């Protein structure tokens, strides 16, 4: 446990000094500031205004950029250490492979989650100062959604990081995976699949398996409970699972996916050559 | 201490270690030599449990992959190139001491001080910002602090200035008498005084495994006579450094050196192999 804690702390410290973390924090902190500056809290969408409106816009932004930011920053984790010989040196110390791998995973999770949570907390704090009403239901659900999405893509990123031999391949693969996820959201390829009269169960299955689609559904669900702004696959999912079912699915599925890929990454890391 | 039987390692279609069988006993101080690509680093990494391989490899009768923490608590390792760690010196010292049950910050500080590195004065500095020599001193101090049973070093003195190199070698000789050492180097002369066994690798195989008989020749003064075909200035300088004197013949020199120095002498002489007509050591 001590070793796990030491690795987590060491990786946290190393990453906080890294340029990617500075950029990552600036993007998500800057997004909130920008939304305030643009007066998003003053506008109204489907009955939502004030802080809830800002958080909805923020979460929509996160749908687009959070997965790729997480993938790009995480995918270099193990393979980057391997290329720079840091892995060779640290693994010559009496550190268990589990402590090394999971220490890195948890450190990265906090690193990813802290800036987006702080940005949300900052928005709520600033909103409170300005006298805006805070919707704790929206805030709580979105915090959970962001947490599970971060965990999901962190797991995928760590898995890729153990899979590839070079950072460039990892980055390429991350972008490819992100594009595939983006293409298979409701309004793009799924619409095309419907036109091609592909079986409904296949379409819904693809939509349910795509974490970006699931995150997007969760993001829209609170202000559009009928999912009218989404595509046809979402209606079927809502009909099948119900409102609370969809809500639970958007939380638990990414969490499961995150654990699945983290574990696959760990087994892959443990099984092969370490350096 | 280390038992290797039929060790094979392949990367893609390239066999890097080819059926290596080796026994390393307690107190062995081994110079692992060979050209680039001979398989030295792969062998070291296999011993450290960083590679999967075919064949048998045990350290303290245990598998280095399955019992890595237990084994690595008793192993010190100094890499050839300092890794680009972002941590500060203080953080690295604390980290190394915290993950190892045999080391502590005070012992690291003492070892570093002996090598001429003041940890306290550099505590807040980033490891990355240290000079090459300072980084190497710190890595050596981290490896030695736990009084390891096995010390593995890849080109250990490559980044050290001559004074630090002498101190380092002296420290190794004095404080690590019972430690088994595996020193990888391109230059055998640099570590010849430290070792009692030389293992030469080439194309992934052990091509020479020689035990140096310290007890017989270590303390003996050897006489040497060397006759050259001609006398380049560099050869003359080398012979002067070894305190050789000219005989009646202008191209013939004689001198004496300690038995433990013979490998270093032969390496020095080998640079002028084309000019040697006769060489006799008694």
| pLDDT tens, residue by residue, B113-151 | 988 899 999 999 999 999 888 998 899 899 999 889 999
Residue A141 has pLDDT above 60, yes or no: yes
Tokens at residue A147, please? 């947490």
Which residues contact residue B143 at a Cβ distance below 8 angstroms, ignoring those fewer than 6 apart? Answer: B76, B77, B78, B151, B153
Share of chain A above pLDDT 90, in %: 44
Task: Report pLDDT digits (tens) over A81-119.
Answer: 999 999 999 999 999 999 999 999 999 999 999 888 888
Q: Where are the beta strands (DSSP E) in A20-79?
A: none
Q: In what order do the strands lie in the sheet with B150-154?
A: B75-78, B150-154, B180-185, B29-33, B197-202, B205-211
CA atoms of B232 and B65, how far apart (whole Å):
53
Q: State the average pLDDT for chain A.
A: 86
* Alpha-carbon gap, residue A134 to A61, rounded angstroms: 20
Q: Give the pLDDT of residue B216.
A: 54
**Which residue of chain B comes nearest to A1, CA vs CA?**
B99
Q: Are residues B256 and B183 in the same domain?
A: no
Residue B260 and residue B200 in one domain: no
Task: Please check whether residue A136 is in contact with residue A52, taking contact to mean a CB–CB distance below 8 angstroms.
Answer: no
Encode pLDDT of B179-188 as tens digits: 899 998 776 7
The A-side interface with B (CB below 8 A) comprises: 2-3, 6-7, 10, 13-14, 17-18, 84-86, 88-89, 91-97, 271-275
Q: Give the integer Cα–Cα distance in Å for A81 and A74.
A: 11
Question: Which of A86, A271, A274 is nearest residue B84 as measured by Cβ atoms?
Answer: A86
The count of domains in chain A is 1
Look-up: residue for tokens 């006298």?
Answer: A131
Domain end, chosen from B196, B213, B230, is at B213
Same domain for B170 and B71, yes or no, is: yes
Looking at A47-61, A72-86, A159-173, B98-112, which range is the least confident one? A47-61
Q: In this structure, what CATH number is given to the domain that contains residue B248?
A: 3.30.70
Same domain, B248 and B142: no
Nearest to A3 among B50, B99, B152 (CB): B99
Cβ-contact B269, B275 below 8 angstroms: no
Measured between beta carbons, which residues in chain B are less than 8 angstroms from residue A271? 52
pLDDT category at A162 given cuts 50, 70, 90 is: very high
Structure tokens at B47: 């011993």
For A94, the closest of B51, B52, B73 (CB atoms) is: B73
Report residue B89 CA to chain centroid gap: 25
Beta bridge partners of B7: B20
Nearest CA among B145, B165, B148, B177 for reference residue B47: B148
What CATH number is associated with residue B90?
A: 3.40.50.300
Chain B contact set for A18 (CB, 8 A)? 86
State which residue of chain B sits closest to A15, comparing Cα positions.
Answer: B86
Q: B71, B95, B156: best mutation site toward chain A, by most A Cβ within 10 Å?
A: B95
Chain A hits for B95, CB-CB cut-off 8 Å, are 6, 10
Helix H, strand E, coil C: the string for B76-111 is EEECCCCCCCCCEHHHHHHHHHHHCCCCCHHHHHHH
Q: Is B247 on the interface with A (CB under 8 A)?
A: no
- Asked if B122 and A124 count as a contact pair (C-beta separation under 8 A), the reply is no
Q: In the predicted model, what is the mean pLDDT of residues A201-222?
A: 85
Q: Which has the closest alpha carbon to B17: B2, B45, B28? A: B45
Name which of B212, B207, B217 is nearest B195 in CA terms: B212
Q: Are residues B229 and B126 in the same domain?
A: no
Q: Which among B55, B47, B68, B39 is positioned nearest to B2, based on CA atoms?
A: B47
The answer to whether the CB atoms of B52 and A273 lie below 8 A apart is yes
Same domain for B223 and B204: no
Task: Return the structure tokens found at B76.
Answer: 């010190």
pLDDT at residue A219 in the model:
85
Look at residues B188, B213, B238 and tell me which one is the last residue of a structural domain.
B213
Q: Which residues of A touch B139 (CB under 8 A)?
A: 89
- From residue A77, give the alpha-carbon distance in Å to each of A72, A136, A260, B10, B200: 9, 35, 18, 25, 36
Do residues B167 and B251 share a domain?
Answer: no
Q: Kindly determine whether residue A94 and residue B101, on different chains, have CB atoms separated by under 8 Å.
A: yes
For A233-266, the three-class secondary structure string (H helix, E strand, C coil) is HHHHHHHHHHHHHHHHHHHHHHHHHHHHHHHHHH
B243 and B199 within one domain:
no
Domain endpoint, select from B193, B213, B233: B213
CA A60 distance to own-chain centroid: 12
Which pLDDT score, from 0 to 100, does residue B218 have? 55
Q: Which residues contact B266 (CB under 8 A, 6 or more apart)?
A: none
Does B52 score more than 60 pLDDT? yes
Could you read off the pLDDT of B211-245 as tens digits, one per residue?
Answer: 876 655 555 788 999 999 999 999 999 898 888 99
Cβ distance A96 to B75 less than 8 Å, yes or no, reads no
Question: Within this chain, do residues B127 and B256 fall inside the same structural domain, yes or no?
Answer: no
- Looking up tokens 């030295």, which residue turns up? B40
Say how far apart CA A56 and CA A51 lie, in whole Å. 8
pLDDT of residue B126: 93
Same domain, residue pair B71 and B203? yes
| Shortest alpha-carbon distance between residue A27 and chain B (Å) | 23
Q: Are residues B60 and B96 in the same domain?
A: yes
Chain B residues lying within 8 Å of A89, measured CB to CB: 77, 79, 83, 85, 139
Query: Can you give the residue range of the structural domain that contains A62?
Result: 2-271
| A232 membership: H or E segment, kind and range | helix A232-271
Predicted TM-score (pTM) of this structure: 0.83
Say whether pLDDT at B251 is over 80. Answer: yes
Q: Which domain holds residue B123?
A: 2-213
Instruction: Give residue-wise pLDDT tens across range A44-80.
Output: 655 556 777 788 888 888 888 899 999 998 998 899 9
Q: Is A7 a residue whose pLDDT tops 90?
A: yes
Q: Are strands B29-33 and B180-185 parallel, antiparallel or unpaired?
A: parallel
- Residues B209, B100 share a domain: yes
Distance CA A217, CA B158 (A): 58
- Tally the domains of chain B: 2
CB-CB: which of B48, B71, B87 is closest to A10? B87
């Amino acid at each position: 446990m001590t070793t796990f804690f030491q690795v987590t702390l060491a990786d946290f410290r190393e990453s906080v000094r890294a340029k990617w973390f500075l950029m990552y924090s600036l993007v998500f902190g800057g997004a909130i500031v920008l939304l305030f500056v643009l007066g998003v809290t003053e506008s109204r969408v489907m009955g939502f205004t004030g802080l809830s409106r800002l958080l909805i816009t923020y979460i929509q932004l996160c749908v687009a950029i959070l997965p790729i930011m997480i993938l790009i920053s995480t995918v270099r984790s193990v393979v980057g250490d391997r290329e720079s010989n840091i892995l060779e040196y640290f693994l010559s110390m009496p550190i268990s492979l589990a402590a090394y791998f999971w220490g890195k995973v948890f450190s990265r999770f906090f690193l990813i989650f802290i800036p987006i949570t702080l940005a949300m907390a900052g928005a709520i704090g600033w909103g409170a100062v300005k006298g805006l009403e805070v919707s704790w239901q929206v805030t709580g659900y979105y915090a959970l959604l962001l947490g599970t999405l971060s965990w999901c893509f962190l797991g995928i990123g760590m898995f890729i990081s153990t899979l590839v031999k070079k950072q460039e391949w990892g980055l390429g693969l991350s972008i490819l995976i992100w594009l595939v996820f983006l293409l298979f959201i409701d309004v793009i390829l799924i619409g095309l699949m419907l036109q091609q009269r592909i079986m409904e169960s296949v379409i819904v299955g693809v939509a349910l398996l795509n974490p970006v689609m699931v995150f997007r559904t969760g993001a829209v669900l609170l202000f559009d409970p009928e999912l009218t702004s989404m595509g046809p696959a979402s209606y079927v999912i809502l009909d099948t699972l119900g409102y609370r079912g969809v809500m639970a699915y958007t939380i638990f599925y990414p969490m499961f996916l995150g654990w699945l890929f983290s574990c696959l990454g760990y087994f892959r890391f443990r099984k092969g050559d370490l350096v | 201490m280390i038992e290797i039987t039929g060790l094979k390692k392949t990367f893609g279609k390239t066999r890097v270690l080819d059926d290596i069988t080796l026994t390393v006993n307690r107190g062995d101080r081994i110079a692992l030599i060979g050209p680039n690509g001979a398989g030295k680093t792969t062998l070291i990494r296999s011993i450290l449990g960083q590679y999967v391989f075919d064949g048998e490899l045990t350290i303290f009768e245990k598998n280095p992959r399955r019992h890595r923490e237990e084994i690595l608590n008793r192993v010190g390792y100094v890499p050839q190139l300092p890794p680009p760690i972002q941590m500060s010196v203080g953080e690295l010292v604390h980290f190394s001491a915290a993950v190892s049950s045999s080391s502590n910050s005070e012992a690291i500080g003492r070892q570093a001080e002996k090598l001429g590195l003041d940890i306290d004065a550099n505590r807040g500095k980033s490891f990355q910002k240290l000079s090459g020599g300072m980084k190497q001193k710190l890595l050596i101090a981290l490896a030695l602090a736990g009084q390891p049973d096995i010390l593995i070093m890849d080109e250990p003195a490559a980044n050290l200035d001559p004074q630090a190199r002498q101190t380092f070698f002296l420290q190794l000789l004095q404080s690590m008498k019972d430690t088994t050492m595996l020193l990888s180097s391109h230059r055998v002369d640099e570590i010849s005084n430290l070792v009692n066994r030389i293992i030469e690798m080439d194309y992934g195989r052990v091509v020479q495994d020689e035990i140096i008989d310290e007890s017989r020749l270590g303390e003996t003064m050897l006489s040497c006579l060397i006759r050259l075909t001609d006398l380049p200035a560099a050869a003359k300088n080398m012979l002067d450094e070894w305190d050789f004197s000219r005989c009646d013949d202008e191209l013939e020199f004689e001198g004496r050196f300690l038995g433990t120095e013979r490998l270093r002498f032969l390496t020095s002489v080998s640079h002028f192999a084309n000019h040697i007509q006769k060489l006799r050591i008694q």
